Chain A
């Protein structure tokens, strides 16, 4: 993330992702479709900022999103949560160990020196809060969250949903650098079914 350009948060409506959208279409419009629009990604960027400001009293800087078909790399702890309902997707919060220790330490007001069950639990809760806060920003949708899963290790490969792409947004803060990867696909659901799902989903 060394050469990434960051901008101070909050960018009023998140990043202008037009460039990313253009890249999606030029890559393979039929395959990738129209999913990774700014309106579908900005809620996640805003949610990260709000979560860090409210729970961690920390402002973040947002880097330029990076488009990739799948994602692999160096982060050590990854909180993963699935979205289902009127949109399907996966949200992955990727933290180097040092950032994870700082973030969870700030959450509970304790100092952590190594990864233990509290760190794993804290990263799971953090991705749960970020995804939950983001999904509430999608008006007219009824989206459910899976229970979070936390993956450890620096050698991994996250496969995206069949016809979507990953968009990875780098962040930095006084607690350290981290990134959020999102794969998101709104489902085509008749309006009356959306209302029904909203009333009855758990």
Chain B
């Protein structure tokens, strides 16, 4: 369910395709908060607490690192955001959609508001770089002319123009991740979620990937990156949210990977005014 109302997205939808595309409700990104999570808990099979009473607020245009050891709940938190998982309790609003009340048929609408990047790239091996990125536009029913116009821009943005005819199997890990980021960014979503995007990459390549994400953020996209990449976190000095055993144990602006001063141990952070 959409919380805000406003201007309609101008998508070209030919008659007869309506069954393939959900009716577009009014959409506008006028909220300052891109993600609002309030007292969210996720319990698996009624026993294991994957997330416990988590509250956080990420304003539009922010760049946030989500750090913590393996199994701390980072991926669970991200899966909540793209509605791959429902919270057991609490309130969650992403890009204006109240995810606890969102109908299953409206989930595609939510996902069009975000780009998602995974550690294993998630590219389709039988399609070229160009086709992989085009795919993300075609599923939204965008006209070919518009796609042809914006693809070179996004390929240029991630530095992959020269490999647009290559298949994923012919690319290095770093190049594949750049393509995945291009696919996530091609529809200019207001939110980019990256789950350990440099997990399979060497430190030097990781720097390049983080720079691509930073550039996307500079253009106005809210970026949330779950990572173990200490070097990048320390180099970029952005907001860091640390998760341990399903709870937020630190939330600092311009911070390093590890807590530098006395850690702010909070389980339920007070609402921040952004």
Q: Do A and B come from one complex?
A: no
Taking Cβ atoms with an 8 Å cutoff, the residues of A that contact B are: none
Taking Cβ atoms with an 8 Å cutoff, the residues of B that contact A are: none
